[in-house]
Amino acid sequence: MKISVCGKGGSGKSTVVALLANEARAKGYRVLVVDSDESNSGLFRMMGFDHPPVPLMELVGGKQSLKQKMGQPNVLSETHIAPAQIPEQHRLQRDGLMLVSIGKILQSLEGCACPMGVLSREFLKKLTLQEGELVIVDMEAGVEHFGRGVETSIDSVLIVVEPPLESIDVGQKIHDLASGIGIRNVWAIMNRVPSEEIANRMKAELEKRHMEVVGYIYFDADIFGSSLEGKIPVNGVAVQEMKDIFDRILSRAGMPPG
């Protein structure tokens, strides 16, 4: 299963990715997290690492020379890539969790991020999984990645939405684009929900827009507090909420319960 986590900027994508990865790991899955957000760089800390992996972009000589170096042999030239084949410096690993990063925008005027979109798309397409392996992609904010075709090999899209209507609108756009290219599982997860009453209103709004909700995470002072250190909580309410959400995801996707 390859899940991409999408949503408006700041909606909680990376938080959801890290909580989901920990939960999938706890259920016995081997999890590969792919950081495909070229703008934000904090995911490695949320996943409990103290430095980021060397971006895969470096394998092809960085963004500037992607075109020239695309032809030279490296793991990215293989037709199929198993997580274990990724060169060590490009993957961080701890007890069944692996993190790779596509690339980051480091300089101003370095041009658009399209080459990173191409690399994300090709890498995800070639990534070949064994039973018990799960890929979770921390996608860039918004909808541009659909234009670049990053989702072509993704089977499930998890859309993070917050109460503001604008967030729901972006979520719907993602939902329609994902469904439009034939992605089987497209679900919404409501984040930073302040009360049950608002959860119910939000759910009704999403369902009115034909979006299927797999659960919600309350506004959580622990999550916000941990973010001061760039971390996420490893126990507490949100971790519990993610247990139920992951169970629902597995059952709706027809996956074994871990």
Binding site for ligand ADP (CB under 6 A): 7, 9-15, 40, 191-192, 217, 219-220, 223-224, 227
The CB density around residue 131, as the number of other CB atoms within 10 Å, is 7
Q: Name which of 14 and 120 has its Cβ closer to Mg ion.
A: 14
Report the C-alpha gap between 66 and 174 in whole angstroms: 28
Q: Which stretch binds Mg ion (CB under 5 A): 39-47, 174-182, 210-218, 241-249?
A: 39-47
**Smallest distance, Mg ion to C-beta of residue 204, A:** 28
* Beta carbon of residue 228, minimum distance to ligand ADP (angstroms, whole number): 8
10 binds, among ligand ADP, Mg ion, none (CB under 5 to 8 A by kind): ligand ADP
Decide whether 9 or 87 has the Cβ nearer to ligand ADP. 9
Tell me 229's DSSP state.
G
DSSP letters, 59-117, are GGTSSTTHHHHTTS-SGGGSSSB-GGGS-GGG-EEETTEEEEE-----STTS--SHHHH
Distance CA 128, CA 147 (A): 23
Give one DSSP letter per residue of 126-187, joined into a string.
Answer: HB---TTEEEEEEEPSSSHHHHTTGGGG--EEEEEE-SSHHHHHHHHHHHHHHHHTT-SEEE
Report in angstroms how near the CB of residue 220 gets to Mg ion at its nearest.
17
Tell whether residue 185 is a contact of Mg ion (CB under 5 A): no
- Decide if residue 14 touches Mg ion (CB under 5 A): yes
Q: How far is the CB of 74 from Mg ion (least distance, A)?
A: 27
- Please give the size of the binding site for Mg ion, defined by CB under 5 A: 3
Among 40, 41, 93, 152, binds Mg ion (CB under 5 A): 40
Nearer to ligand ADP, 151 or 220 (CB): 220
